[in-house]
Amino acid sequence: MPINPLGVHALVFAGDTTPDRMTEIIDQTRAAGYDLLELSLHDSPNLDVADARSKLESAGLGIVCSRGLAFDADVSSEDPAVVSRGARLLHDSLQITHDLGGHHFTGALFSALGKYGRPLGSAGRANVVATLKDLAADAADKGMTLGLEVCNRYETNVVNTAADALRLADDIGADNVVIHLDTYHMNIEEDDLVRPVHLVGDRLGYVHIGENHRGYLGSGHLDFTAFFHALADIGYAGPITFESFSSAVVSPTLSNDLAIWRNLWDDGPALARHARAFITNRIEAGRGA
């Protein structure tokens, strides 16, 4: 059996988080054999937190929440009002994660989710550091961990490589801030899928597994064998979550931000079952190498 808790992103099953939809998402996550559900909080106004927590606990599932920010609530902005809106959104999202029973809040917590037309400035980066210092302190008071997801250049200008994430985490200077690697983004920005894992080492706290086109695992060109061997090299025992997107499942607030234009699959439950078997096999192969 895998040593890592295995998760699946809710957008494999549905694009919104109304109570009826959450019932469907949770049931399908459990049926596919996962240990935890990752929930993007972009649809949080429609989320009944107490109801969702009850359903998660009944299903025996853990919960991880993630999000990026919007350009009018961007903590990497040089406009104090925009930064303030972003900080409030982060603290509110942290509280939702806590109220759901989660201990891990991750994602592009440092910027808007979208293509920037300029490099990050020093004032904007200082705002990121100050905001995330405060958020990390809030998280520590709640017994929670923050993840810095390394995203590609078309989704942020703040953290594009594992080295970027380590520098930001060092500047934040909090023990409860960990690095979140994602094979989809690594394929774009890193030289390979091995050296970043070794570089991050015991500071790795969360992993997204996604193909180069975010479709079926194994249908693209990513070297997952090397990646899972690297995870075994560092003794990574944290969560590994499958993330995939298709135009078959549309989130009104997220699909456009992620440029989900293609129909890479139609059957989310079948995709989820395939991904769990794929990841389990790679973990076992990596540990046995």
C-beta of residue 121 within 8 angstroms of C-beta of residue 75: no
Interatomic CA distance for residues 186 and 207, integer angstroms: 11
Is 149 tagged catalytic? yes
Interatomic CA distance for residues 129 and 168, integer angstroms: 7
Residue from 38, 149, 155, 190 carrying the catalytic annotation: 149
Interatomic CA distance for residues 41 and 67, integer angstroms: 6
Interatomic CA distance for residues 168 and 125, integer angstroms: 9
Pairing outcome for strands 240-242 and 204-209: parallel
What's CA 15's distance to the chain center, in Å? 16
Interatomic CA distance for residues 68 and 40, integer angstroms: 9
Residue from 38, 155, 190, 243 carrying the catalytic annotation: 243
Is 78 tagged catalytic? no
Structure tokens at 240: 């590994």
* Torsion over CA: 222, 223, 228, 232 (sign): negative
- Catalytically active residues are 149, 243
